[in-house]
Chains A and B, each alone.
Chain A
Amino acid sequence: NAGVMQNPRHLVRRRGQEARLRCSPMKGHSHVYWYRQLPEEGLKFMVYLQKENIIDESGMPKERFSAEFPKEGPSILRIQQVVRGDSAAYFCASSPAGRGSTGELFFGEGSRLTVL
C-alpha cells in the first residue's frame, strides 16, 4: 500500500525559473495539504485541497505560488519566478475524506527545492 508520493525529491532552479512539485496522495485519500519547512524551522501550512477545489489557501503567498488538485492526476504546487528565499523543503500530506476523520495527516518524504 503505497504512501504519499512526492517528486522530485530534489530540485535545483535558478532565480526566475519555475518550480513544479508533484504529490500523489495515499490510495483512497482525497484531501491534500502542502506545507513548507524552512531550514531549522517548523512546518508552515500553505494550502489544503480536495479534488478540483481549493479549501483553504490562507498560508499561500499572494504572488508566484499556486496549487491545484485535478480530477485526474497528482496535486501540483507551482512556484513561478523563484527567488532564493523559496529554498525549502515542501511536504505534501493527505488524509481520507468524510466525517469521522481524526485529522491525522500522512506525509510524503518531501521535495527539497534549492534556488541558486
Chain B
Amino acid sequence: AQSVTQLGSHVSVSEGALVLLRCNYSSSVPPYLFWYVQYPNQGLQLLLKYTTGATLVKGINGFEAEFKKSETSFHLTKPSAHMSDAAEYFCAVSDTGRRALTFGSGTRLQVQP
C-alpha cells in the first residue's frame, strides 16, 4: 500500500521568501515520487520527479526537492517565492512506476506582495 501526507493545507509566504512544502510518503518498496502544480481551473503540471539516482531533484520554475529515505520525506523548496507561484501543489507516490499515482490532499500556496 502507498500513501502521501502533505502537512499544511495552506501555506502563505512573502514574495522573495523561502518556499517549503512538506510531503511524507509511505511505500512498501522504493518509491517513485512526484510534485505537481495546479493553477485555478486547470489540469496538473509536473514540477519534478524522483525515480532513482541523485536524491536532490531539480524541476521547473526554480523548484527542487530532496528524497530522504530515512525520513520518508520529499519536501519541495524554492529559495525565493514569486507571485506567479501561487497555486495548489500536490505530492504523489507510485510504488512500482507502473501503477496509478496516489496523491496527497494538496497544499495551497499564497504569495503575499
Say whether B97 contacts A110, CB under 8 Å: no
Say whether B32 contacts A43, CB under 8 Å: no
Say whether B49 contacts A33, CB under 8 Å: no
Total B residues in contact with A, Cβ cutoff 8 Å? 24
| Residues 37-53 of chain A, each 1 if its beta carbon lies under 8 Å from chain B, else 0 | 00001111100100000
Interface residue? A69 (CB, 8 A) = no
Tell me how far the C-beta of B98 lies from the nearest C-beta in chain A, rounded to whole angstroms: 6
Residues of B contacting A48 with CB < 8 Å?
Answer: 99-100
Residues of A contacting B97 with CB < 8 Å?
Answer: 101-103
Tell me how far the C-beta of B44 lies from the nearest C-beta in chain A, rounded to whole angstroms: 4
Tell me the complex Cα distance, A56–B102, Å: 13
Assuming the A-B contacts A102-B32, A109-B43, are A42 and B90 also in contact, with contact meaning beta carbons closer than 8 angstroms in the complex?
yes
Total A residues in contact with B, Cβ cutoff 8 Å? 23
| Residues 31-75 of chain B, each 1 if its beta carbon lies under 8 Å from chain A, else 0 | 010101000011111100101000000000000000000000000
Residues of A contacting B45 with CB < 8 Å?
Answer: 107
**Can you list 20 pairs linking A and B with CB atoms under 8 Å apart?**
A33-B101, A35-B103, A42-B104, A42-B105, A43-B90, A45-B100, A45-B101, A45-B102, A45-B103, A48-B99, A101-B98, A102-B49, A102-B97, A103-B99, A104-B46, A107-B36, A107-B44, A107-B45, A108-B43, A112-B41
A-to-B contact residues, CB < 8 Å:
4, 33, 35, 41-45, 48, 56, 91, 93, 101-110, 112
